[in-house]
């Protein structure tokens, strides 16, 4: 199978590089630095050492026995990315890109963040490596992810509120891109998902493939074979791309990406890009599937989960959906919150609201599957950050 993207950064009909002229040279520089690092055994050794001794890899493969028994049907396994340092898979990519910034001689890094986990990961990596750090975050996301804002500032990062637009992830990316255009000589933009112009979708996926590489080995050993189904939530799609990439060549393994169904599938109430309101378009430098109206204007989005509240999806996901290798579905706010409680009650594990969408889908389909079947859920993050928001929506907040 030909490795994607192609030389122009395309995954089939999706991807590419649609940016102002001022960013073409920095993106070319980044691509060259990334490819050089991939050939540099010293860079890879440093990254591997930190992933093991600082991040805490490999993360465990956990059999959710009580959850499986409660639901009946398939056995559910969890890939425990919530046990990574900083509490989510985001650190895999943040660390890789922060090391790359050092290789390029960039002393300042910037980032966008929605749920705050990527911002925390970048701030943490910057503290480790002595880099100046600025994180852009929508004001609405700052409100619902206050704990992560405190964590970023504790690490020495400057957190800049974004009051424009919907005050969420889309607007934070806009501001980060504006900063990068202005400060390209001294600054590296650590984009947090498989989004944006080439080489970001490729590079972020590659830094996250450690999840899938570990998972294949672990599930084969633990379940004595491959899973019937691999499930992951999909916002921009980095955790899903990281685990799907290792299973995509196994045709017998079903792959399911779970988007945010929000309050319902009407415009403005969800972030399910592969629903009827999503169509090919260009956003933040890449051609992908975007929630837009008939005039091409970006539609508003909603999700209880800040990390899934984004109107576009990574271009590789768009390709996987077009060629039918991955099935994409959606889970609404209420079902995700129910799964948030269910996993906590059955296993003593509090999932991030993003990850709860994947847990909810597994809980939906497991009862109808044979007892001999196995579902692998990528538990992309932990839910400490979401406790206040869940309490508020349930009327329990002070």
- The structure tokens listed for 214 are 């570990």
Query: Cα 357–305–335 angle (5° rounding)?
Result: 40
Contact 98, 129 (CB under 8 A): yes
Is 90 considered catalytic here?
Answer: yes
Identify the active-site residue in 31, 140, 380, 389. 380
123 and 150 in contact (C-beta within 8 Å)? no
Active site residue 112: yes
315: buried, middle or exposed (CB in 10 Å: 19+, 13-18, 0-12)? buried
Please give the Cα distance from 193 to 170 (Å, whole number). Answer: 12
Local structure of 345: helix, strand or coil: helix
Largest CA distance in the chain: 57
| Residue among 31, 68, 79, 90 flagged as catalytic | 90
93 closest CA partner among 384, 393, 380: 380
**Six-digit token string for 91:** 């650190």
Residue among 68, 81, 106, 112 flagged as catalytic: 112
Which two tokens mark 340? Answer: 């948030």
Altogether, the residues listed in the chain come to a count of 398
C-alpha R_g of the chain:
19
Does 220 participate in catalysis according to the annotation? no
- 101, 125 Cβ separation under 8 angstroms: no
- Taking residue 126's Cβ as centre, other Cβ atoms within 10 Å add up to 26
Catalytic positions are 90, 112, 380
């Amino acid at each position: 199978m030909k490795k994607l993207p192609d030389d122009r950064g395309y995954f089939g009909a999706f991807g590419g590089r649609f940016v102002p002229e001022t960013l073409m040279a920095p993106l070319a520089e980044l691509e060259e630095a990334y490819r050089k690092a991939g050939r540099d055994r010293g860079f890879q050794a440093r990254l591997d050492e930190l992933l093991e001794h600082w991040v805490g890899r490999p993360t465990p493969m956990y059999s959710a026995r009580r959850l499986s028994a409660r639901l009946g049907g398939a056995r559910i396994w969890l890939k425990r990315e919530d046990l990574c340092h900083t509490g989510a898979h985001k650190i895999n990519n943040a660390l890789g890109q922060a090391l790359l910034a050092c290789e390029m001689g960039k002393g300042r890094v910037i980032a966008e963040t929605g749920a705050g986990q990527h911002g925390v990961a970048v701030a943490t990596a910057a503290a480790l490596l002595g880099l100046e750090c600025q994180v852009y975050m929508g004001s609405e996301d700052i409100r619902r992810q206050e704990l992560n804002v405190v964590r970023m500032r504790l690490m020495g990062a400057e957190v800049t509120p974004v009051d424009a637009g919907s005050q969420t992830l889309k607007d934070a990316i806009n501001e980060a891109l504006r900063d990068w255009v202005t400060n390209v000589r001294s600054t590296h933009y650590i984009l947090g998902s498989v989004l944006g112009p080439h080489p970001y979708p490729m590079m972020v996926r590659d830094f996250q493939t450690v999840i899938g590489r570990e998972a294949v080995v672990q599930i084969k050993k633990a379940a004595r074979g491959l899973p019937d189904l691999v499930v992951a939530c999909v916002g921009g799609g980095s955790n899903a791309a990281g685990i799907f990439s290792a299973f995509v060549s196994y045709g017998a393994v079903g792959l399911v990406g779970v988007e945010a169904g929000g309050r319902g599938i009407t415009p403005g109430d969800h972030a399910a890009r592969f629903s009827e309101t999503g169509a090919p378009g260009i956003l933040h430098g890449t051609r992908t599937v975007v929630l837009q109206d008939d005039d091409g204007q970006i539609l508003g989005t909603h999700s209880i989960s800040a990390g899934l509240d984004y109107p576009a999806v990574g271009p590789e996901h768009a390709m996987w959906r077009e060629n039918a290798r991955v099935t994409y579905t959606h889970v609404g706010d209420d079902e995700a919150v129910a799964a948030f409680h269910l996993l906590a009650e059955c296993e003593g594990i509090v999932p991030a609201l993003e990850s709860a969408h994947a847990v909810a889908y597994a809980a939906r389909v497991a009862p109808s599957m044979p007892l001999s079947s196995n579902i692998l859920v990528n538990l992309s993050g932990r839910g400490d950050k979401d406790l206040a928001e869940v309490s508020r929506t349930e009327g329990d907040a002070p």
